[in-house]
Structure 1
Amino acid sequence: MLTVDLGVNEKGHRDHAPRARYECQRCRTTEGPVEGSIAVTTFIEHVRAVHATRCHPTQESASA
């Protein structure tokens, strides 16, 4: 699950810098969090491009 918080409140004002983290339900890996617009963009691209190549399901998730 890729979680991205844009840092904008319900009124449309920036509360904090954007941040993101990734939690894989298959291999139980957590990556991040990262903070900042450039870091979030780079992080998302990296997770999409690389994580699947190194994702190995845990015994627990493989049997579910």
Structure 2
Amino acid sequence: MPHKDALKLARAVQTAAILAALQGYENAAISGLCREGAWEAAISAIRMMDLDALVADGSAKNGPQP
């Protein structure tokens, strides 16, 4: 994989991870979880990301998968 493509993929993964974490934290906070619980939900959202779909798509425009 050429450097440019690897960098594009890395940025897509980074963006998707940030979006997943933000969405997970927000959903947990809305549900009434404390900050610590919301943080754990954010980390869990990152762990549940569909990396196969992200690699196949080649972008983070679709964000985290439900």
TM-score by shorter chain over 0.5: no
Name whichever structure is richer in helix by fraction: 2
Higher-strand-fraction structure: 1
**Highest CA radius of gyration, 1 or 2?**
1
Using CA pairs below 8 Å that are at least 6 residues apart, which structure has the higher relative contact order? 2
Question: Normalising by the residue count of structure 2, what TM-score does the alignment of the two structures yield?
Answer: 0.29
